Amino acid sequence: MAYIVDVYHRKVEPAKSLVGYALFISLFPHLIAGPIQRPSHLLPQVQKERTWDPAKAFDGLILILEGLFRKVVIADNCALIANAVFAGNFGGPNTMTVLLGTYAFAWQIYGDFSGYSRIARGSAQLLGFHFMVNFRQPYFAESLQDFWRRWHISLSTWLRDYLYIPLGGNRLGRVRTYVNLMLTMLLGGLWHGANWTFVVWGGIHGVGLATERLFVGKREITPSSSFLGRWARRIFIFNVVCLAWIFFRITSFSGAWEQIVGLMNWQWNPAYWTALVFLACYAMALFVVDLQLEASHGEHVFASYPYGLRILTGIAFCALITLFGANQESAFIYFRF
């Protein structure tokens, strides 16, 4: 669709050959679950002669190992807690189970999809293609606007360019801007599946984005200058995103609502503490990786460091995958969408 629209608007030259076009459409690293590749980014690469670039291939290998670490170690272990909580194994919804399940799912879906995206990018890089970065430490976002610049970037920019802007974006006055934001996010929710819970998930983000727009207008939300302010905002946005994840994870609206109501019901069981420590260990591992990426602004860990350190990083990922990979095998969440 993007190809047809871009060619129509003369933003991209039509493919020079059927084989080139077919390769652009069916290139396996992005075929199943993205990251969505724009014709303007990928088509020229497909049509150009590729040469073996060992530096890019090395980066590709590290990306694949980091992706596997995110999926097998982080996502699949967090899934153990999330699945058990939402299956009711820890009892009915109460403050602790809802927090545990939601935080576990938040790290599961992030590890899962950012892991998949990295494996896809790494595989493409081994073949000489460059894919756009799809995740930039989304849980470090200081606003929802910022979150959507960091989460599933290939989808959010696609929605912006092919839905929000054609609807009029912010050019048609305040009210239309809010309506366009809501419509874009609601359709973004529906993109994940024909279920009202996805619409509510999109709606929460839409309302959040519109509210931010109400306060700051067309201005960019600037990062907080103070350390405390920055982390307070990050924690707040993380929790708003987590609240929305409940509607993404639970398949019925009533089930999701039960979880939200359960937040008010305080109960304690020693197993909650063990589960919390288990979850914190895995979330912390990914948090540390993200901290390094955020500080370095790199596309992958220790990107600007000497090869020796990056080799050690690759071996460390491999060791964590083999020793701490979850026992249960599970497919990538985004294969469903």
Partner 1 sequence: MPSSISASEHRKATRAIAILLASLLVYVCALEIVTRMAFPRINHIWRTLQSDHLTAVSLHPLKAGKSATMLMVGNSYLEVGVNRENLQREIAPTFSIAYLPMSGTSYFDWYFGLRKLFAEDSRPAIVGVCLSTRDLISDSTYGESFAHALMLRRDLLRVKKEAHLDNTMTSDYFFDSLSSWMGHRDETHNWLLRKAAPGINNLVSYLKPKNQPLPPSDVIVAKALPRLRQLNELAQNYGARFFLLIPPTMDVRDASKEIQEAAAKEGILVLLPFQHAELPESVFLDGAHLNPQGAALFTEKLGPTLLQSLYQN
Is 320 a residue that touches partner 1 (CB under 8 A)?
Answer: no
Binding piece for partner 1, criterion CB under 8 A, among 108-116, 160-168, 238-246, 308-316: 308-316
Two structure tokens written together for 30: 């992005």
Contacts by 118-121, CB closer than 8 A, 24 or more apart: 118/63, 118/64, 118/66, 118/67, 118/70, 118/300, 119/29, 119/63, 119/64, 119/67, 119/68, 119/71, 120/29, 120/30, 120/33, 120/34, 120/35, 120/67, 121/29, 121/35, 121/60, 121/63, 121/67
Which residue from 179, 243, 271, 303 is in contact with partner 1, where contact means CB under 8 A?
A: 271
Two structure tokens written together for 26: 């069916």
Residue 9 burial (10 A CB sphere; 0-12, 13-18, 19+):
exposed
Shortest Å, Cβ 327 to partner 1: 5
Q: Decide whether 231 or 307 has the Cβ nearer to partner 1.
A: 307
Which residue from 220, 270, 295, 304 is in contact with partner 1, where contact means CB under 8 A?
A: 270
Which residue from 1, 8, 10, 55 is in contact with partner 1, where contact means CB under 8 A?
A: 55
Q: Answer whether 296's CB lies under 8 Å from 302's CB.
A: yes
Shortest Å, Cβ 208 to partner 1: 33
Shortest Å, Cβ 93 to partner 1: 15
Shortest Å, Cβ 249 to partner 1: 17
Active site residues: 192
Question: In angstroms, how far is CA 161 from the centroid of its own chain?
Answer: 19
Two structure tokens written together for 53: 């670039």
Nearest C-alpha neighbor of 69 from the set 315, 328, 299, 337: 315
Looking at this protein, which amino acid is placed at residue 124? Answer: A
Shortest Å, Cβ 22 to partner 1: 23
Q: Which of residues 280-299 bind partner 1 (CB under 8 A)?
A: 281
Is 314 a residue that touches partner 1 (CB under 8 A)?
Answer: yes
What is the gyration radius of the CA atoms in the chain, in angstroms? 21
Is 57 a residue that touches partner 1 (CB under 8 A)?
Answer: yes
Is 87 a residue that touches partner 1 (CB under 8 A)?
Answer: yes
Q: Decide whether 220 or 329 has the Cβ nearer to partner 1.
A: 329
Name the site residues for partner 1 (rule: CB under 8 A). Answer: 51, 53-55, 57-58, 61-62, 80-81, 83-84, 87-90, 130, 270-271, 274-275, 277-278, 281, 307, 310-311, 314-315, 318-319, 322-327, 329
